[in-house]
């Protein structure tokens, strides 16, 4: 099973999925042209990965709960991302 979507994010943390599913793959692309997107993979809310405008990242995860995977933007103007999240 997988989920994919493109949506706008702001500087507030956004959980990609609200349900608790163990995920094994994540792809995020920053479609914006100005601000960095940030990926957070744990509860401490510190960005783990910065994605520059036009950049992308793909990760193989080890059963990370979907409630811990969050994204935000480094600026209040926000940016647009697309993502693919897959579970076991």
Residue 2, pLDDT score: 62
Rounded to an integer, the average pLDDT of 69-81 is 93
Question: Is the C-alpha dihedral spanning 23, 7, 36, 56 positive or negative?
Answer: positive
Are 21 and 85 in contact, with CB atoms under 8 Å apart? no
Give the pLDDT confidence score for residue 39 in this predicted structure: 93
C-alpha to C-alpha distance for 7 and 79, rounded to whole angstroms: 9
Q: What is the pTM of this model?
A: 0.88
Quick one: which of 85, 84, 82, 78 has its CA closest to 9?
Answer: 78
Q: What is the pLDDT of residues 12-71, one digit of tens each?
A: 888 888 788 899 999 999 999 999 999 998 867 677 899 999 999 999 998 888 888 999
What is the model's pLDDT at position 32? 94
β-partners of residue 8 are: 80
């Amino acid at each position: 099973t997988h989920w994919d979507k493109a949506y706008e994010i702001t500087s507030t943390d956004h959980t990609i999925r609200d349900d608790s599913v163990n995920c094994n793959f994540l792809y995020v692309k920053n479609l914006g042209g100005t601000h960095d997107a940030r990926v957070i993979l744990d509860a401490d809310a510190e960005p783990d990965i910065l994605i520059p405008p036009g950049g992308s990242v793909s990760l193989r995860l080890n059963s990370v709960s979907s409630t811990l995977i969050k994204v935000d933007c480094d600026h209040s103007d926000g940016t647009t991302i697309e993502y693919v999240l897959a579970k076991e």
